[in-house]
Amino acid sequence: MNLEQFRYIKEVVQCRSISKAAKQLYLTQPTISNAIHNFEEEVGYKVFRRSNQGVELTEDGEKVMGSIDIILNEVQNIRNSNESPGYISGDVYVDASPTICSTIMPRVIIACKQAYPGITVHVKETFPDKSIPSLLAGISTISVTSFVGVDKLKTLQNNLGIRNFAAEQLMTESFMLYTSKNNPLAQEKAVDVVETYAYPWIIQQEHTYEENCMILGEDEICPNSIISFQDKDSVKQAIAADLGVAVMASSFAGEEDPYVAAGLICRVGLLDVKLDMMHVLVTPKKRKFTMVEKCFLEELKKFYQQLQKKEQEKKAE
């Protein structure tokens, strides 16, 4: 076995496809397939199996992936040991929840690139309940996820303790009401949730009706009707078109968002919301991070500190 085989296996895990991995590595598909076959012949078990979702690790594959990740990690550390901070290069693999992928992560990557041009950040959109399996399988080494309420954070921390993972709270953000510029509520600085029930509610599939109830501390909410969309941009278009209103975290559409900046969407405070949105960093406790990963985490935490400061200033107003 050799490092090339390890890298090929890692890329196939990331892409969930041998053909896609081959394109990423600028190799032919038979080259990747033969390398994996030779590795499996040497170790005596199958590393991958095919499924409806593509190629995925077998149970034995998940175990060996942990070792492969450690080896590639150490190789990266050796390569970076003599490099100055400004010239550190390499890859970092991150899972992020859909909310964070579309709002936070692009800006974090830009900040990281400005500080460390040689670092390449690979981000995979992963729902919170899938982030731990992804870390366990070695698909990613860092997860940035989001959910509602402190109780969920405590539950997550308790569950992760068993699996040797650490959960660190990065930021807490409040929920806001989003309306079109033509909606009468757009003229208010803050409103009671009951006032929004006269209008259709627009929700994203990621956030269920039950979660909206939990955010508001209600067993049931009674809007005029509920309109559901799969992605954030569709939600924003529907709000701008005055099809309804939405209750979303403050990062859903900040002041710099094109819809907000153009005046198509207005942000309105909510007076009676019971819970906040938590942003949480999940990492393996015993893993020795590469210099590349340490640099990324430094930029990530720095960015979140700035966001949290802005969030606190808004609450103080």
Q: How confident is the model at residue 84 (pLDDT cuts 50, 70, 90)?
A: low
* Gap between the Cα atoms of 313 and 295, Å rounded: 28
Q: How confident is the model at residue 302 (pLDDT cuts 50, 70, 90)?
A: very high
The region that residue 37 occupies, defined by phi over 0 for left and psi between -120 and 50 for alpha, beta otherwise, is alpha
What pLDDT does 223 receive?
A: 72
- Phi, psi (rounded to 5 degrees) for 144: -120, 110
pTM of the predicted model as reported, rounded to 2 decimal places = 0.68
What pLDDT does 144 receive?
A: 93
What pLDDT does 83 receive?
A: 57
Q: How confident is the model at residue 290 (pLDDT cuts 50, 70, 90)?
A: confident
Say whether pLDDT at 14 is over 90: no
Those residues whose C-beta lies under 8 Å from the C-beta of residue 39, and which sit 6 or more positions away, are 1, 5, 9, 47
Half-sphere exposure of 143 (CA within 13 A, CB side): 29
- In the chain, the amino acid numbered 178 is Y
What pLDDT does 4 receive?
A: 85
* Gap between the Cα atoms of 131 and 139, Å rounded: 10
**Closest C-alpha to 50, from 36, 63, 31:** 36
Identify the bridge partners of residue 263 per DSSP, sorted by sequence position.
Answer: none
What pLDDT does 260 receive?
A: 94
What pLDDT does 267 receive?
A: 95
Q: Which of 5-14, 23-32, 93-102, 257-266 has the highest mean pLDDT?
A: 257-266
What pLDDT does 80 receive?
A: 63
What pLDDT does 231 receive?
A: 81
Pairwise pLDDT comparison (204 vs 195), residue with the higher score: 195
Pairwise pLDDT comparison (207 vs 239), residue with the higher score: 239
Say whether pLDDT at 137 is over 70: no
DSSP state of 169: E
What pLDDT does 203 receive?
A: 84
Q: Which of 8-17, 54-63, 197-206, 263-272 has the highest mean pLDDT?
A: 263-272
Strand 175-180 relative to strand 265-270, pairing? antiparallel
The mean per-residue pLDDT over the stretch 276-302 comes to: 87
Digit-coded pLDDT (tens) for 147-188: 776 666 667 666 666 567 788 889 888 888 999 999 999 999
Say whether pLDDT at 210 is over 70: no
- The share of the chain scoring above pLDDT 70, in percent, equals 84
Question: Mean of the per-residue pLDDT values for the chain?
Answer: 83
Residue 87: Cβ-neighbour burial (10 angstroms; 0-12, 13-18, 19+)? exposed
- The share of the chain scoring above pLDDT 90, in percent, equals 21
How far is C-alpha 152 from the geometric centre of its chain's CA atoms? 17
- Phi, psi (rounded to 5 degrees) for 212: -65, -40
What pLDDT does 149 receive?
A: 66
